Structure 1
């Protein structure tokens, strides 16, 4: 699956959950997206849910921002780095992020970073429209 396909699919999944929460306050929506609740009530939101597995080892994991607004991707890549194409990166250079480096590619690895999964961060970025929160993620070629 490409970044673009994943981006659009995740936005649709998020919108489907949000349709159920139209009468809820921001705090209630954020509470609904807590990992334990999502595993129970939205098993199709994430493939990891079927195994009750978290993508990040964080006790208070919140899945509202399944992806990070600081993530950046370009389908054709940003630049060449030592002969490898950089396809994705962290816009804030999180100290907890890293990179997957292959023979001819580099992709951002966010698995060590929990920035977007903290409720305080989510409240700061909150919008009922996931695509609005994520508007800067996709960079044009």
Structure 2
């Protein structure tokens, strides 16, 4: 699956859940997206819920963002450097971030970064429209 396909599919899943939660306060919405609750009430939101397995080991894992608003991607490539196409990057160059580098490609590896799963961060960037929070991520806007 391409970044763009995942982005659109995930955003639509998020939108459907938010329609169900439209009468809840922002704090109630954030609490609803805690991992344990999502495993129980929204099992199709994430493939890891079937196990259930957290994507990051942290006491309170919140799935509201699932992706980070600082993640940048373009399925055609953001730029080329040293013969490799960079398909994704971190716009804040988070110290926890890494890169997966092959002979022809570079992809951002966010697996060590917990930022988008922290409720304090979610509160800072919170909007009920996930696409609005993530609008800068998709370089192609497709």
TM-score by length of 1: 0.97
What CA distance in whole angstroms lies between the structure 2 residues aligned with 1:65 and 1:112?
16
Please say if 1:16 is aligned against 2:13.
no
What CA distance in whole angstroms lies between the structure 2 residues aligned with 1:22 and 1:45?
18
**Residue of structure 1 equivalent to 2:92:** 92
- How many residues of Structure 1 are paired with residues of Structure 2 in the alignment? 141
**Residue of structure 2 equivalent to 1:75:** 75
Q: Residue 107 of structure 1: SS of its match in structure 2?
A: strand
Root-mean-square deviation (Å): 1.1
What does residue range 1-141 of structure 1 map to in structure 2 within 5 Å? 1-140=1-140
Per-residue deviation at 1:81? 2.4
Task: List per-residue Cα deviations over 1:50-78 (Å, max 9, x = no partner).
Answer: 00111111111100001100000012112
What CA distance in whole angstroms lies between the structure 2 residues aligned with 1:74 and 1:52?
30
Task: List per-residue Cα deviations over 1:31-67 (Å, max 9, x = no partner).
Answer: 0000010011100000000001111111111000011
Please, which moves more after superposition, 79-88 or 105-114?
79-88
Per-residue deviation at 1:103? 1.9
Q: Residue 80 of structure 1: SS of its match in structure 2?
A: strand
Structure 2: gaps of 5 or more residues: none
What CA distance in whole angstroms lies between the structure 2 residues aligned with 1:74 and 1:36?
32
Structure 1: gaps of 5 or more residues: none
What CA distance in whole angstroms lies between the structure 1 residues aligned with 2:22 and 2:35?
20
